[in-house]
Copies of this chain bind each other. A is one copy, B any other.
């Protein structure tokens, strides 16, 4: 039987959150300030545990803390219509879909880079050439706004003058 009032460490273990993260959520108002022992240590009840589980789950699904704040407001006022929760989820879905499209194109590009590198010198390395030249890129999502003055040859004469820059 697990106790219902637990310390922050136990809560962290149960929800897979770091202790500092829990305190951080409290600080920014996502978690209400919990009860304290006489020695000023936090004690969390089951409601807090479930609220934190909600937050972690939403975070893992990629919701921003701001979106989660909106969602938690809705949780706290369950008589409203759920359009806002729906809107938050839909926005997130759109975001995820566009990321998937971008990542698929990116994967193509990287696969091509790796496929074409035949283990020679850097001077012939396609990885670097592809990165150097927008024109060879399959990934259409990031066209340079103005390509004027940018040659599309395989030259890499634009490395820094001495070839020895090691600003660290």
Which residues from chain A sit less than 8 Å from chain B, CB to CB? 2, 4, 13-16, 28-29, 32, 46-51, 53-54, 56-58, 60-62, 71-72, 74-83, 85-86, 88-90, 92-93, 96-97, 99-100, 103-104, 106-107, 109-111, 113-114, 117, 119-125, 127-128, 131-132, 134, 137, 139, 141-142, 144-146, 148-150, 156-161, 163-165, 167-168
Q: Is the Cβ of B131 less than 8 Å from the Cβ of A71?
A: yes
Verify A16–B99 contact, CB threshold 8 A: no
Q: Which residues of B contact A62 (CB under 8 A)?
A: 106
The reply to whether A61 and B131 form a contact with Cβ atoms under 8 Å apart is yes
Chain B residues, CB < 8 A from A97: 107
With A14-B148, A16-B145, A160-B32 in contact, do A53 and B92 touch (Cβ < 8 Å)? no
Known: A32-B165, A75-B132. 15 other contacts (CB 8 A): A13-B146, A16-B144, A32-B167, A46-B149, A49-B150, A54-B131, A54-B132, A71-B128, A75-B128, A76-B164, A78-B122, A81-B122, A85-B125, A86-B114, A100-B104
Closest approach, in angstroms, between the C-beta of A109 and any C-beta of chain B?
Answer: 6
Within the oligomer, what is the number of copies of this chain?
2
Q: List 24 A-B contacts (CB under 8 A).
A: A13-B146, A14-B144, A14-B148, A14-B149, A16-B145, A29-B168, A47-B161, A48-B158, A53-B134, A61-B109, A72-B159, A75-B156, A76-B163, A76-B164, A76-B165, A78-B122, A80-B121, A82-B125, A86-B125, A86-B127, A88-B127, A92-B110, A99-B103, A100-B103
- The smallest C-beta distance from A158 to any residue of chain B, in angstroms, reads 3
